[in-house]
A and B are shown apart, each in its own frame.
Chain A
Amino acid sequence: MTAMIDVTDANKTFTMHLQGGIELPVVSGVSFQVNASECVVLSGPSGAGKSSILKMIFGNYRCDSGRIGIRHRGALIDLASAEPRQVLNVRRATIGYVSQFLRAVPRVATIDVVAEPLIVNGMPRADAQARAGDLLHRLNIPERLWQLPPATFSGGEQQRVNIARGFISDLPILLLDEPTASLDAANRAVVVELVAEKKRQGVAMVAIVHDDEIRHLIADRIVDVTSFAAAA
């Protein structure tokens, strides 16, 4: 089987120039693969570098060395050495990312925040909004809130808007950073369902989940991040 994600010997160290140039090793020798229809969960204590690895796969953090292989439009592309324009294309067509917190533009209505990734890829606004509505329904965001910007919502509501925005596209790779962290049991179950649907559609996923029960329900394989601990 061809891997969708192929990380090989990736290293990351932060150099804190404002703190006298302290070197903060984050991870080293990160190597693993993720296939289509598979959800790999990264495990390890807080500070082990799970989120950093996810950000490296998304091209948000740069790697000091190593390779972040991503299957994009049928070819393997190394995101660690790709041009900014290529990274943006990969994000538009291949990799989705559900961050821990929603970062929304002040005045944009919830329904449009969720529909935006589809509109950017050329779907007519009405169709994109219809799909956004379906997802918001499933995630129990009442329709009366859809026209409001999510900035005033509760933490759990914002997270569900964020999840809807992340799951709406049909991208072959999805990265999930604690998608169930501030959700109640009913909504956690919806997320588990959404992950299962993505698997059936052939999506390759990498997730960070602290909840043992959820991890058990979604993980096909667990990658222990402590083995990539950088030597300080």
Chain B
Amino acid sequence: MVDHAALENDQPLLVATSLSKSFGRIAACRDVSFALYPGEVVAIVGESGSGKSTLLQLLSGQLAASGGHVSYRMRDGVARDLATLGEAERRFLYRTDWGFVHQDPAQGLRMAVSAGANVGERLMAVGWNHYGRIRETASDWLTRVEIDTARIDDAPRTYSGGMRQRLQIARNLVTEPRLVFMDEPTGGLDVSVQARLLDLLRSLVAELHLAVIIVTHDLAVARLLSHRVMVMKGGRVIETGLTDQVLDDPREPYTQLLVSSILPP
């Protein structure tokens, strides 16, 4: 049995404190603080220009903050400030403990090398060197993301959009990360392909007990995948809470506007 009593007492995985970022006079992100726990899925929602992608880049250490800081609890249990990490530790995070699923799979994949190599590359980066085992693991992962293993030697540029996105997910999850950042992962896909991907993500996240920070403008995606949401406007988090609470009982005028703008299914 999963010991939820122990989970209740656990430590946060990532803590953001008063994060801010300005581009010249424009404040893209202002004073954002929150804690993320293992296995927790948090959605950052808001319209284009609200600052949600900037926040994701700050949290994942791709962008240096103008103010505030992010601390991450490494696998040894010690929380470290991202800004003070050495190069080797940073590489370890990117290659092993973190995943990053981009909206455009071409940004997260190497389009000209085979699907098997795209997945296997992450394993080699963490020291795997037995070709047979790498290929076997890659093939397992293709199956888990519902890609026919007969396509393992084909390059992703021959794949459909939905397949590419599923391959990107396999590449990210193969090293068993504890935290995955997702930037509009269903953004460029057809509705039917989106439903399949969401269902796949939902079951993988639960099975692997992943913590996820997902940026989306689609409230249906937030409802399906996330435990909590943060609503952003003008660089600030204006409302936050349990996902169903915020979506069913929105308080802020802007959140009410977002919720009321959803087309009925």
Chain A residues with CB under 8 Å of chain B are: 14-18, 55, 59-62, 73, 84-85, 87-89, 92-93, 105-108, 120-123
Kindly report which residue of chain A lies nearest to residue B252, judged by CB atoms. Answer: A17
Q: Which residues of B contact A (CB under 8 A)?
A: 1-2, 4-5, 8, 37, 40, 195-196, 198-199, 202, 206, 224, 227-228, 241-242, 244-245, 248-249, 251-253, 256-257, 260
Rounded to whole Å, the gap between the CB of B229 and the closest CB of chain A is: 10
- Given A17-B253, A18-B253, A85-B37, A122 contacting B2 (CB threshold 8 A): yes
Q: A15-B251, A18-B260 are in contact. Are A107 and B196 (CB under 8 A)?
A: yes
B224–A84 CB distance below 8 A: no
For A120, what are the chain B residues with a Cβ–Cβ distance below 8 Å?
206
Closest chain B residue to A12, Cβ basis: B249
CB distance from A125 to the nearest CB of B (A): 11
Take A17-B253, A17-B256, A85-B40 as given contacts and tell me if A60 and B244 are in contact as well, using a CB distance cutoff of 8 Å.
yes
Which partner residue on chain A sits nearest B192 by CB separation?
A106
Q: Are B227 and A88 in contact (CB under 8 A)?
A: yes
In the complex formed, the residue of A with least CB distance to B40 is: A85
Question: Quick one: given A84-B227, A84-B228, A106-B195, are A61 and B253 in contact (CB under 8 Å)?
Answer: no
**Taking chain B's interface residues, is the majority helix, strand, or loop, or is none over half, making it mixed?**
helix
- Residues of B near A61 (CB, < 8 A) are 245, 248-249
State in angstroms the CA–CA spacing of A73 and B3 once bound together: 13
A105 touches B251 (CB 8 A): no
**Do B242 and A89 touch across chains, with their CB atoms under 8 A apart?**
no
- Which of chain A's residues have a CB closer than 8 A to the CB of B241? 62, 84
- 20 A-B residue pairs with Cβ-Cβ distance under 8 Å, sorted by A, are A16-B256, A17-B252, A17-B253, A18-B256, A55-B248, A61-B248, A62-B251, A73-B5, A84-B228, A84-B245, A85-B37, A88-B242, A106-B195, A106-B198, A107-B195, A107-B199, A121-B1, A121-B4, A122-B1, A122-B2
With A60-B244, A60-B245, A84-B241: A105-B202 Cβ-Cβ less than 8 Å = yes
Q: Which residues does chain A contribute within 8 Å of B5, judged by CB atoms?
A: 73
Tell me the complex Cα distance, A14–B245, Å: 13
Q: Known A17-B253, A18-B256, A85-B37; judge A105-B224 contact (CB<8 A).
A: yes
By beta carbon, the residue of chain A nearest B42 is A84
What residues on B are CB-neighbors of A14 within 8 Å?
A: 249
Whether the Cβ atoms of A62 and B249 lie closer than 8 Å is: yes
Of the residues B2, B228, B257, contact of A18 by C-beta under 8 Å: B257
Tell me, rounded to whole Å, the shortest Cβ–Cβ distance linking A105 to chain B. Answer: 6
Q: How far is the CA of A105 from the CA of B252 in the complex (A)?
A: 28
Q: Is the CB of B4 within 8 A of A89?
A: yes
B4 touches A106 (CB 8 A): no
Residues of A within 8 A of B228 (CB): 84
B245 and A59 within 8 A (CB):
yes
Q: How far apart are the CA atoms of A97 and B216 in the complex, in Å?
A: 28
Q: List residues of chain B with CB within 8 A of the CB of A121.
A: 1-2, 4
Question: How many angstroms from the CA of A122 to the CA of B2 in the assembled complex?
Answer: 5
Min CB distance A167 to B, Å, is 20
Other than A107-B196, A123-B1, give 9 A-B pairs with Cβ distance below 8 A: A17-B252, A59-B242, A60-B248, A85-B8, A88-B242, A93-B4, A106-B196, A106-B198, A107-B199
Q: Which residue of B lies closest to A105 (CB)?
A: B199
Question: In the complex, what's the smallest C-beta–C-beta distance from B34 to chain A, in angstroms?
Answer: 11
* Chain A neighbourhood of B224, CB < 8 A: 105
Q: Which residues of B contact A123 (CB under 8 A)?
A: 1
User: Could you tell me the distance in whole angstroms from the C-beta of B140 to the nearest C-beta in chain A?
Assistant: 19
Contacts of A15 in B (CB 8 A): 251
Per the bound structure, the CA–CA distance linking A125 and B49 in Å amounts to 43
Name the 9 nearest CB pairs between A and B, nearest first.
Answer: A17-B253, A122-B1, A122-B2, A106-B195, A84-B242, A107-B199, A61-B249, A17-B256, A84-B228
- The chain B residue sitting closest to A62, CB to CB, is B249
